[in-house]
Amino acid sequence: MKIVHLEGNAVNPGDLSWDVLDQFGDVTVYERTAPEDAVARIGDAEVVLINKTPITAQLLDQCPNLRLICVQATGYNVVDCDAARERGVLVCNVPAYGTNAVAQFTFSLLLELCNQVGHHDRMVHAGKWCQCPSFCFWDTPQMELAGKTIGIIGFGKIGRAVGKIAKAFGTKVLAYNRSRCPEGETIGQYVDLDTLLENSDIVSLHCPLTAETKGLINAQTLAKMKVGAILLNTARGPLLNEQDVADALSSGKLRGAAVDVVSSEPMLPDNPLLTAPNCIITPHMAWTPVESRQRIIDCTVNSIQGYLNGKPVNTVN
């Protein structure tokens, strides 16, 4: 069996191994692949591994041997799943590989907004504390999480993990989700979106990108939020109308925002969040601990094994 990985560098920039795939046959790993090169590189392969490379109906028509697409991510919107199903091609994703990592990173962003630890470290190294007449020094407002309310939009595995951490800080949890589950009921209170926006000191996004959620945070929904609220996005960039968020930061409607994802990645130099005040931006890295990336490889192996055994797992089409 021939296996081609079009984007090996995304999951494994060199600190992990692809050797585990060799048990299945002939494996070729490319670090990166431009969309226009995908057809030639897939060729007559039976299995392709991707991360963000688009798999269209046209590509599938030109790669008739393809039978399994392994998306090494949870989101699979880059694949035309209907076209794949019509052609008998299975599509598998990697569910729940980075739940703890993303929840941890969400709080890294939140705590940085609350305490500005990095900023104060830089100030100390610049000599500001040495020059201070008092025994202590700070030049940004400090915020305590205990007693605050966090509203979590998207209360799946990651959202619930964030909720559990929030409770440990003494923070009340509100949740907005399409469905409810018993575990979620023990973590937070399910409410409608308007109630969440109006009552939350912190709003954190953990929902998928769909036609309904695109631009979910915009001028209208921001207007419903508390003055001085904090906005977090570790889900998908297009959930935000970025200009509206930048305007809310500039006006003081939002105390701060922190995003790990943006509408176009890599980030474009004219993105309005780049010049917005009190906005932390990280480069889509919440999912990247080595433990999470190893789970992606392990899950991909399981998907290929399930395909070969006639018992597919992690299928999305």
Name the catalytic one among 236, 242, 255, 293.
236
pLDDT surpassing 90 at residue 101: yes
Check residue 90 and give its pLDDT: 98
Q: Dihedral of the CA atoms 18, 22, 25, 28 (nearest 10)?
A: 30
Check residue 311 and give its pLDDT: 97
Name the catalytic one among 31, 183, 185, 265.
265
- What residue ranges do the domains of the chain occupy? 2-97+290-308, 99-281
Per-residue pLDDT of 178-225, as tens digits, reads 999 999 999 999 999 999 999 999 999 999 999 999 999 999 999 999
Answering whether pTM is above 0.85, one says: yes
Q: Taking the domain 99-281, which CATH number applies?
A: 3.40.50.720
pLDDT surpassing 90 at residue 13: yes
212 is catalytic: no
- Mean per-residue pLDDT over the chain, rounded: 97
Percent of the chain at pLDDT > 90 equals 98
265 is catalytic: yes
The DSSP secondary-structure symbol of 197 reads H
Q: Report domain 2-97+290-308's class.
A: alpha beta
Asked if 2-97+290-308 and 99-281 have one fold, the answer is: yes
pLDDT surpassing 90 at residue 75: no
Among candidate residues 157, 6, 156, 1, the one with its CA nearest the CA of residue 70: 6
Rounded Cα distance between 137 and 114, Å, is 16
Check residue 200 and give its pLDDT: 98
| Helix/strand/coil percent split, the chain, to 5 | 40, 15, 45
284 is catalytic: yes
How does residue 298 score in pLDDT terms, banded at 50, 70 and 90?
Answer: very high
Per-residue pLDDT of 131-164, as tens digits, reads 999 999 999 999 999 999 999 999 999 999 999 9
Rounded Cα distance between 48 and 60, Å, is 11
pLDDT surpassing 90 at residue 77: no
